[in-house]
A and B are shown apart, each in its own frame.
Chain A
């Protein structure tokens, strides 16, 4: 684990770039408010299928996305609304997709678990655990073969590390020295199976290091730590340092999906982690350092709520893809290779 920053170091960092820090807070809040609205809309039957929200884990996506460049690629999981949003997919297109509307980023074909966006090189939205890792390896292989200076960031949960595709992918990436940043979001539970019940080696960075991949564990509840670790790793990957692995130790505050009575964990544990809420923590720090007051917070909050409201309004006004279009996108339409 990268050594935690001291209070002095943190204060210095915030003081050195208050706007950027405030922006990290804003990005996390965007995800939080979007996800809260998703839960509400799911309860109201507006969103259907499976819904997995990212509440509690926002610091990871916010920190990593902030250091990626526009040509980099992102591969994510089925808990990816936040990743899509922070990668630059409009909230309106995300919400419309969850409504199953033609205006959604995948024209209603994907839904909550399968958000894709070519414009931001956002490659899903992969709902097979570990299924996205080989894709990331291949994207990086293409970049390497074509001599492109790009990084592919691949997000996955710790549950993926028990899958063969994780091992095959790390091995290939290391063997071929490919520019992939593997981002393990270790929220301690693979659905309801606790880490110690699914992994023989619970030090995940150690496990990844066995493939000769440079690996670190990072406090995933601290957006500044995430950003710092991600920046170093991305720089290393981009400059030819081969694949890197970051284990972000984080926690989801809500159930795995909407239909989850959470029999597998204690409320006290959830409450303990909620004390480390990445948004509340950073807000307190910013307030303490004098870079955030009630007025700024209220304005930030209104702005974020407005974005979510607008997204919902957009989705509500959306249209259904005509059933006549059902069979589209099974094969490419001619002339679009």
Chain B
């Protein structure tokens, strides 16, 4: 079967133009061939008598397959090479395609002119090649994906599957080996090969970097197994999993109900809390004496998990307003006059008090979103984000904050901060805030757009109190102002109610004496 185009792989004879016994010359048309693209007449490059057809009409055969036998004219047949059965030497009508590496089929331009000792179909040769050993193990895409997720280089793996294919078990075993190796080198983390591309820069995937921030993990402490030692997401997970954790935290139960508290404040009707924060709220009570660093790391993971869920599930919207604190601070200075230092108010107390009252007055901000619906809370338990020394963040509640005077808020705040930083919060305090306030003013931050603590539906942010030029009634003055922000759940409220909330905070802060 001659090749009539680079894209022709098969052909079938649809009509013979010669029959056995006919004498053919070079160039004579011998058959019509259907190439799938068209029907073509094909010619003989041999001269002689057609001995027999080797393919049937309509039979599709690969290019290179002999389709008919042409016997040499007697005068042309050297006696010494005549076939032992006494028949004339056979010649293939169509020359075989080049199979240069296959010695059993003689290639070369002379193939057609030489007596073809064996008219082996070329297809048989091709089959031999198909079983040749493969150089790279076959890896199915799902396995490759798994390997990537676990930070395993599949190319280096010995496959135990069919034909040396890399299996899921091979990848998992490699991950386990890698894990053990990582643990064994853990104490000498500082001596690991520099995984940094520049001074102090840890090579990591952007995804890993983002996750590290969420988990509060220092990338420099993580062994990177990605390209060029880059830290990957899998490395972070492995890093987290390989660290010894307090028994109480070892098995986070993402959807578990909180345990009945031994402190006894979470009575019936208290809302189930998100697991992470609840599970870790007792770090101070951890009986196993685990180190502070471990507690922090553990807490960080819990926060990461909670925040990831929040960002995943809650359609946040964000509002911001700048509030003139002139009146509030004047009032506060008056109230503080003559008090001992320990009893003085700080601006945060006023901000918290105003936020709690505003939450009562704009109830769409106060409560929980569970089971696909918003459940408003009658009480306002104001969560206060407290940064812990050494890292991490907790947001315990000041209960019924909307009913507390600023002095009471101040006292509750001092108590909470002290206990939070000592790791002695009560479970209920962690469990039931109905809205949370974060105040990053003391860090010099001007505004903060926070992530809502699910299943709460709003988070209020305060920045630093700063002096700013402030125009009012056409007059310009300098006033202390604070940027107040609201992150709220769009499933529950919209900008109108959110705006109303911020406006209410503002109003309350303009009349601090009523707080």
Query: Is B3 a contact of A312 with CB atoms below 8 Å?
Result: no
A43 touches B109 (CB 8 A): no
Interface set, chain B 1-57, CB cutoff 8 A to A:
2-6, 8, 27, 35, 37-42, 45
Contact of B6 with A312 in the complex, beta carbons under 8 Å: no
- Closest B residue, CB atoms, query A41: B109
Q: Tell yes or no: A20 within 8 A of B by CB.
A: no
How long is the Cα–Cα vector from A312 to B5 in the complex, in angstroms?
20
Inter-chain contact A259/B98, CB cutoff 8 Å: no
- Contact indicator per residue, chain B 300-318, by CB within 8 Å of chain A (1) or not (0): 0000000000000000000
Chain A positions 46 through 60: 1 when the CB is less than 8 Å from some CB of chain B, otherwise 0 = 101110000000000
In contact, A261 and B45 (Cβ under 8 angstroms): no
A43 touches B3 (CB 8 A): yes
**Contact (A45, B45) CB under 8 Å given A261-B39, A316-B108:** no
Q: Which residues of A contact B440 (CB under 8 A)?
A: none
- Verify B112–A40 contact, CB threshold 8 A: yes
**Shortest distance between the CB of B492 and any CB in chain A (Å):** 61
Are A259 and B109 within 8 A (Cβ)?
no
8 Å CB contact of A258 from B5, B45, B63, B64: B5
Chain A residues whose CB sits within 8 angstroms of the CB of B27 once the complex forms: 36
Enumerate chain A residues within 8 angstroms of B97, measured Cβ to Cβ: 44-46
Q: In the complex, what distance in Å separates the CA atom of A36 from the CA atom of B43?
A: 12
Asked whether any CB of chain B lies closer than 8 Å to the CB of A216, the reply is no
Whether B38 pairs with A43 at a CB distance below 8 angstroms is no
Binary B-proximity of A40-81 (CB < 8 A = 1, otherwise 0): 111111101110000000000000000000000000000000
* Residue of A36, A37, A42, A43 with most chain B CB atoms under a 10 A cut-off: A43
Residues in chain A near residue B111, CB distance under 8 A: 44
Label chain B's interface by main secondary structure: loop
What residues of B have a CB within 8 angstroms of the CB of A258 in the complex?
4-5
Cβ of B94 within 8 Å of any chain A Cβ, yes or no, is yes
* Smallest CB gap from A309: residue in B: B109
Distance of A49 Cα from B6 Cα, bound (Å): 6
Whether a CB of chain A sits under 8 angstroms from the CB of B325 is no
Minimum distance in angstroms from A183 CB to a CB of chain B: 29
B40-A44 in contact (CB<8A): no
Complex Cα gap A45–B8 (Å): 10
Given A40-B95, A316-B108, A45 and B63 touching (CB < 8 A)? yes
A261-B38, A312-B109, A316-B109 known; A43 and B98 CB under 8 Å? no
By size class, the interface of chain B is: 20 to 34
Partner of B40, one of A37, A40, A45, A261: A261
Given contacts A40-B45, A259-B37, contact A46 B109 (CB under 8 A): yes
Question: B2 touching A43 by the CB < 8 A rule?
Answer: yes
Inter-chain contacts of B233 with A (CB < 8 A): none
Residues of B within 8 A of A41 (CB): 109
- Which A residues touch B429, using CB under 8 A? none
A43-B4 in contact (CB<8A): yes
- B96 near A: Cβ within 8 Å? yes
| Chain A hits for B96, CB < 8 A | 44
**In whole Å, how far is A6's beta carbon from the nearest beta carbon of chain B?**
34
Contact A44 B94 (CB under 8 A): yes
CA distance A50 to B6 in the complex (A): 8
Q: In the complex, what residues of B have CB within 8 A of residue A312's CB?
A: 109
Within 8 A of B (CB), among A300-332: 312-313, 316
Q: Which residue of B lies closest to A37 (CB)?
A: B109
Task: Decide if A45 touches B108 in the complex (CB within 8 Å).
Answer: no
Question: Residue-by-residue, is B75-102 near A (CB-CB < 8 Å gives 1, otherwise 0)?
Answer: 0000000000000000000111110000
CA distance A209 to B240 in the complex (A): 85
Nearest opposing residue in chain B for A48, CB measure: B6
Task: Let me know if B109 and A42 touch, CB within 8 A.
Answer: no
Residue of B4, B35, B96, B109 with highest tally of chain A CB at under 10 A: B109
CA distance A238 to B27 in the complex (A): 43
**Measured between C-beta atoms, what is the minimum distance from B26 to chain A in Å?**
8
Pairwise interchain contact B4-A259, C-beta atoms closer than 8 A: yes
Q: Is the CB of B8 within 8 A of A259?
A: yes
User: Whole-angstrom distance from the CB of A295 to the nearest CB of chain B?
Assistant: 21
Q: Is the CB of B5 within 8 A of A43?
A: no
Question: Out of B5, B37, B42, B112, which one reaches A44, CB within 8 Å?
Answer: B112
A45-B64, A45-B98 as given contacts; A259 in contact with B2, CB under 8 Å: no
**Separation of A136 and B27 alpha carbons in the complex (Å):** 37
Kindly state the separation between the CA atoms of A313 and B108 in the bound complex, as whole angstroms.
Answer: 9
CB-CB under 8 A from A261, the residues of chain B are 38-41
Q: Is the CB of B94 within 8 A of A259?
A: no
Instruction: Identify which of B6, B94, B108, B111 gathers the most chain A CB atoms within 10 Å of its CB.
Output: B6
* Cα distance, A50 to B35, chains bound together (Å): 16
| Closest CB in chain A relative to B1 CB, distance in Å | 9
Shortest distance between the CB of A298 and any CB in chain B (Å): 17
Chain A, Cβ-Cβ closest to B95:
A44
Cα of A258 to Cα of B41 in the assembled complex, Å: 11
Closest residue of chain A to B7 (Cβ to Cβ) is A259
Chain A residues with Cβ under 8 A from B63's Cβ?
45
Contact of A259 among B40, B108, B112 (CB under 8 A): B40
- List chain A residues, Cβ under 8 A from B42: 43
A residues less than 8 Å from B40 (CB atoms): 259, 261
For residue A40, which residues in chain B have a CB less than 8 angstroms away from its CB? 45, 95, 112
| Contact residues, B474-490 vs A (CB, 8 A) | none
* Closest B residue, CB atoms, query A308: B109
Q: With the chains together, A335 CA to B6 CA distance in Å?
A: 38
> Shortest CB–CB separation between residue A263 and chain B, in angstroms?
8
User: Which 3 pairs across A and B sit closest by C-beta, in order of nearness?
Assistant: A45-B97, A43-B2, A44-B95
A-B CB contact pairs (8 Å), 19 listed? A36-B27, A40-B45, A40-B95, A40-B112, A41-B109, A43-B45, A44-B94, A44-B96, A44-B109, A44-B111, A45-B97, A45-B98, A46-B109, A49-B6, A50-B6, A259-B4, A259-B40, A313-B109, A316-B109
Residues of A within 8 A of B (CB): 36-37, 40-46, 48-50, 258-259, 261, 312-313, 316
- 15 additional A-B pairs beyond A43-B45, A48-B6, beta carbons within 8 Å, are A40-B95, A42-B3, A43-B4, A44-B2, A44-B3, A44-B97, A45-B3, A45-B64, A45-B98, A46-B97, A46-B98, A258-B4, A259-B8, A312-B109, A316-B108
